[in-house]
Chains A and B, each alone.
Chain A
Amino acid sequence: MFIRTVYKLQKLRWNLSYTMLILILLIASIIVISPIAYALATSLRIPSESFTLPPRWIPIPPDFSNYEAVFSTVPLGHYVVNSMFITLSIVVAQVATSALAGYAFARLNFPAKNLLFWLILATMMIPQQATIIPVFVEISKIGLADTRSALILPAVATAFGTFLMRQYFMRIPNEFEEAALIDGASHWRIFWSIYLPMVRPGLTVLAILSFNGYWNEFLRPLVFLKSIDKFTLPLGLVNLQGYMGTGSISVVLAGVIISLLPVLIIYILGQRYLVEGIMLGGLKA
Chain B
Amino acid sequence: MEKTEFLHKSNTRAFQESIADLFRDNVRGSAMRRALMGYLFIAPTVVSLLVFTILPIIASFGLSFFEWNVIEKARFVGLDNYIKLTHDTRVLRSFLTTAQIVILSVLLQIVVALLLALGVQSIKQRVLRYFFRTIFFIPILTSAASISIVLAYMFDQDFGVINYYLTHIGLPRIPWLNSPHWAMVAVIITYVWQQLGFMFIILTGGISSIPPEVLEAADVDGAHGWKKLVHIQIPMLSPTLLFAAVVGVIGALQIFEIPFVLTNGGPGDATRTVVMIIYESAFQNLQIGYGSAIAFILFVVILSLTAIQFILSRYWVFYQ
A241 to B152, CA, bound (A): 10
A283-B288 contact given A104-B41, A180-B1, A218-B143, CB 8 Å threshold: no
A133 touches B49 (CB 8 A): no
A283 to B60, CA, bound (A): 25
- Interface stretch (choices B79-87, B174-182, B190-198, B227-235): B190-198
B128 touches A22 (CB 8 A): yes
Interface positions, chain A 111-130, Cβ under 8 Å from B, are 111, 113, 116, 119-120, 123, 125-130
> Any chain A CB within 8 A of the CB of B275?
yes
B303 touches A256 (CB 8 A): no
A105-B143 contact given A25-B120, A51-B159, A135-B56, CB 8 Å threshold: no
B283 touches A136 (CB 8 A): yes
Contact of A125 among B38, B131, B140, B303 (CB under 8 A): B303
**How many A residues touch B, CB cutoff 8 Å?**
101
* Interface of A: prevailing SS: helix
> Any chain B CB within 8 A of the CB of A38?
yes
| Residues of chain A contacted by B147 (CB below 8 angstroms) | 35, 256
Shortest distance from the beta carbon of A47 to any chain B beta carbon, whole Å: 13
- Interface stretch (choices B17-25, B89-97, B213-221, B312-320): B17-25
Shortest distance from the beta carbon of A97 to any chain B beta carbon, whole Å: 4
Contact of A39 among B9, B136, B150, B306 (CB under 8 A): B150
> Any chain A CB within 8 A of the CB of B308?
no
B135 touches A100 (CB 8 A): no
> Any chain B CB within 8 A of the CB of A55?
yes
A103-B254 contact given A29-B136, A131-B52, A249-B153, CB 8 Å threshold: no
A98 to B278, CA, bound (A): 30
> Any chain B CB within 8 A of the CB of A210?
no
| Residues of chain A contacted by B119 (CB below 8 angstroms) | 21, 24-25
With A35-B150, A246-B153 known, 16 other A-B pairs at CB within 8 A are: A21-B119, A29-B132, A32-B139, A35-B193, A38-B161, A111-B35, A127-B299, A129-B275, A134-B63, A153-B52, A175-B3, A176-B1, A233-B146, A255-B146, A278-B201, A285-B195
